[in-house]
């Protein structure tokens, strides 16, 4: 779905903004290089415009952080109300290691939701459904000692009350990786 400027409107907004930033970045470099022509004849006159483009680049960058967070939540997500981190025998969501691990327990809306949430994970996690407590369905996500930071990150990203594939993917990687 491309518009007349060849912008693919079906893509996430943060990607579109990023592509616009790339163009502005190129434009800024071109203006700078033009300034060097004819013994820097127009350099001083062009510099303020180069500066203006730098401001636009920075503003778009910070707006895009907000858009990214918003899109992360707005994409199809399921209710997931974390009760915090405890410990239980649930496989690590990063490496699959079993045994007693740290884990997030969260209330979810239905057993059916739980099955869908489980598909976000490479290693199946634990759906805790009890016939005598049909309204208190819990979903449990494990994290081994080595991946405790990933589990904490997941818990943090879900603290608004929902979960989706992007959030799980994001938690599998730490920011410095």
Chain residues binding Zn ion by CB under 5 A are 92, 94-95, 97, 144, 147
CB of 174 to Zn ion, least distance (A): 13
Q: Cβ closer to Zn ion: 28 or 140?
A: 140
CB of 88 to Zn ion, least distance (A): 15
Q: Cβ closer to Zn ion: 14 or 97?
A: 97
CB of 36 to Zn ion, least distance (A): 54
Gap between the Cα atoms of 55 and 111, Å rounded = 49
Which residue lies nearest Zn ion, judged by its C-beta? 92
Strand ranges for 15-91 from DSSP E: 78-79, 81-88
Q: Cβ closer to Zn ion: 18 or 88?
A: 88
Could you tell me the CA-to-CA distances from 171 to 120, 139, 147 in Å, in that order? 12, 17, 10
Q: Cβ closer to Zn ion: 92 or 154?
A: 92
Q: At what angle do helices 165-172 and 43-74 cross, to 10 degrees?
A: 110
Gap between the Cα atoms of 105 and 18, Å rounded = 36
CB of 66 to Zn ion, least distance (A): 32
Q: Which of 138, 135, 126, 30 is nearest to 82 (CA)?
A: 138
């Amino acid at each position: 779905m491309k518009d007349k400027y060849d912008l693919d409107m079906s893509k996430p907004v943060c990607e579109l903004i990023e592509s616009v930033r790339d163009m502005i970045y190129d434009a800024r470099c071109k203006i700078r290089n033009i300034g060097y022509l004819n013994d820097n004849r127009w350099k001083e006159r062009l510099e303020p415009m180069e500066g203006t483009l730098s401001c636009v680049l920075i503003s778009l960058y910070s707006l895009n952080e907000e858009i990214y967070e918003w899109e992360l939540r707005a994409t199809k997500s399921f209710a997931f109300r974390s009760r915090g981190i405890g410990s239980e025998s649930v496989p690590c969501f990063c490496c699959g290691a079993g045994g007693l691990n740290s884990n997030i327990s969260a209330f979810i809306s239905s057993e059916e939701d739980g099955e869908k949430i489980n598909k976000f994970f490479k290693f199946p996690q634990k759906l805790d459904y009890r016939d005598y407590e049909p309204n208190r369905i819990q979903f449990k996500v494990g994290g081994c000692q080595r991946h405790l930071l990933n589990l904490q990150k997941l818990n943090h990203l879900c603290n608004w009350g929902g979960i989706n594939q992007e959030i799980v993917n994001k938690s599998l990687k730490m920011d410095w990786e």
